[in-house]
């Protein structure tokens, strides 16, 4: 897939369409093995779902690395394509490179889309 397709898909996503970004390759070569594992696992989080930083740490076999997971997510080169907004803290929303309000809006957008899709069946 090319850059123009990615831009079109991002626009569709932000307009409220459910878009599958799994076909896009993301260059993670400048990151550590740990950071790559965090981001690769983050790509598996389904649309409309959330996991906590500690759950994500456990999924990659690093049970006590919730803070390190958060730091790795800060290095995400392509937010939305790698949906780091779907990773939240145990006690709340957690941080986001584009601000907590942007994270809230993305999570709300996905939640509304799932709700609207369910109504059509």
pLDDT digits (tens, 9 = 90+) for 43-86: 999 999 999 999 999 999 999 999 999 999 999 999 999 999 99
- Contact (Cβ atoms closer than 8 angstroms) between residue 4 and residue 14: no
Of residues 120 and 72, which shows the higher confidence score? 72
Question: Which residue in 81, 84, 87, 106 is the catalytic one?
Answer: 84
Q: How large is the average pLDDT for residues 82-103? A: 93
d(CA 121, CA 118): 6
* Per-residue confidence (pLDDT) for residue 116, from 0 to 100: 58
Q: What integer best gives the mean pLDDT of the chain?
A: 92
> Is residue 2's pLDDT more than 50?
yes
Number of domains making up the chain:
1
Here the contacts of 97-102 (C-beta below 8 Å, separation 24 or greater) are none
Quick one: which of 44, 95, 45 has its CA closest to 74?
95
Q: Give the chain's radius of gyration (CA, Å).
A: 14
* Structural domain that includes position 70: 3-119
Active site residue 4: no
Q: Indicate which CATH number applies to the domain containing 100.
A: 1.10.10.10
What is Dmax (Cα atoms) for the chain?
Answer: 44
pTM of the model: 0.90
pLDDT band of 121, cuts 50, 70, 90:
very low
Compute the average pLDDT of residues 91-113: 91
Residue 119 has pLDDT above 60, yes or no: no
């Amino acid at each position: 897939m090319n850059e123009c397709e990615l831009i079109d898909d991002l626009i569709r996503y932000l307009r409220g369409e459910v878009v599958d970004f799994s076909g896009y390759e993301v260059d993670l070569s400048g990151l550590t093995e740990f950071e790559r594992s965090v981001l690769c696992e983050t790509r598996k989080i389904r649309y409309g779902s959330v996991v906590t930083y500690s759950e994500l740490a456990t999924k990659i076999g690093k049970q006590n690395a919730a803070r390190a997971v958060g730091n790795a997510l800060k290095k995400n080169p392509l937010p939305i394509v790698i949906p780091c907004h779907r990773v939240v803290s145990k006690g709340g929303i957690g941080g986001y490179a584009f601000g907590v309000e942007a994270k809230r809006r993305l999570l709300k957008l996905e939640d509304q889309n799932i709700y609207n899709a369910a109504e059509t069946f």
